[in-house]
Amino acid sequence: MTDADLMPLLKRIAEALERLTPSPPPAVDLNATDAFVWHADRNWLEPIHEVNRVELGLLRGIDRVRDILIDNTERFAAGFPANNVLLWGARGTGKSSLVKAAHYAINQKQPRALALVEIHREDVPSLPRLLALLRSSPRRCLLFCDDLSFDQHDASYKSLKAVLEGGVEGRPSNVVLYATSNRRHLMPRDMIENERSTAINPAEAVEERVSMSDRFGLWLGFHSLDQDTYQAIVRGYAEHYGLEIPVEQLKAEASEWSITRGSRSGRVAWQFIQDLAGRLGKPLG
């Protein structure tokens, strides 16, 4: 086969290889918007122009933790030192809603002050790559991981520990991490007990596991709501969205809804409001 015969074949092979090669991710511009989602498989920050959030004033029954989080976030946005924050507690009590509401409230006061960057739980092992990307930006970034937890045989918590505080580089000065979890120590109690019962040195084994949460300078606890707080949340939503219904009827229907769900929380209140707005033919926009 001559060189003239080989050239078309080599060209076709080269073209096929180019088609198989994934295209490079788009360039990241942290000034494009105020919120992003990290895609580890593509090393890409996807801009999010409409964040799913509620207004800060609609979050009831969490006044103390709200004020602490806002204060920490304002200091960080102003360029001062701030702590990583672990928001832990009962499901549906407003942990992730508070983070997104705080970010929006700060940016309302100081436009473009903070970029909210969400990283999914399964992408935690890629955190060093994400932090390297954020470190090179002058913009201050609030890194957000919702429902962070670790199960048995999951070693990714070790890389998270090192990146947050213990590694050579540590956390970039322009990044702070806010994480939510149903578990105070980010792992189930039976897993901690198993470590204690099977390890050669139980105290050291447990210390290795639970020290993950020590990387968060602030622990903010969220607990189940009492009836009065639950009803206050429902009334706040109803007034905000102009849902006209007699007060006693609203109270009775909200109580019945929470009983059928078996819990009282901000999430349950919102789900009731969605149902009520649908029945009344009112949009929630």
Give the DSSP letter of residue 23: P
Task: Give yes or no: residues 157 and 249 share one domain.
Answer: no
Tens digits of residue pLDDT in 272-285? 999 999 999 999 87
The pLDDT of residue 16 is above 80: no
> Is residue 12 in some structural domain?
no
Distance CA 98, CA 60 (A): 10
- In this prediction, what percent of the chain has a pLDDT beyond 90? 54
Tens digits of residue pLDDT in 214-231? 788 899 999 888 999 999
Task: Give yes or no: residues 214 and 247 share one domain.
Answer: no
pLDDT for residue 243? 94
Confidence of residue 166 (pLDDT cuts 50, 70, 90): low
Distance CA 41, CA 36 (A): 15
Confidence of residue 27 (pLDDT cuts 50, 70, 90): low
Report the run of H or E that residue 253 belongs to, with start and end.
helix 247-261
Are 106 and 113 spatial neighbours (Cβ–Cβ below 8 Å)? Answer: yes
Structure tokens at 178: 């806010």
Unique residue bearing structure tokens 């909200």: 254
Residue after which a domain boundary falls, among 199, 222, 245: 222
Q: What's the mean pLDDT in 131-154?
A: 86
Distance CA 280, CA 49 (A): 30
Q: Residue 235 belongs to what domain range?
A: 227-280
The pLDDT of residue 35 is above 70: yes
Confidence of residue 21 (pLDDT cuts 50, 70, 90): low
Are 79 and 209 spatial neighbours (Cβ–Cβ below 8 Å)? Answer: no
Q: 243 in helix, strand or coil?
A: coil
Alpha carbon distances (Å) from 221 to 10, 70, 157: 63, 15, 21
Task: Give yes or no: residues 118 and 204 share one domain.
Answer: yes
The mean pLDDT value of the chain amounts to: 84
Task: Give yes or no: residues 54 and 93 share one domain.
Answer: yes
Q: Cα 83–138–108 angle (5° rounding)?
A: 70
pLDDT for residue 60? 86
Q: Name the domain count of the chain.
A: 2
Q: Which residue has the higher pLDDT, 68 or 121?
A: 68
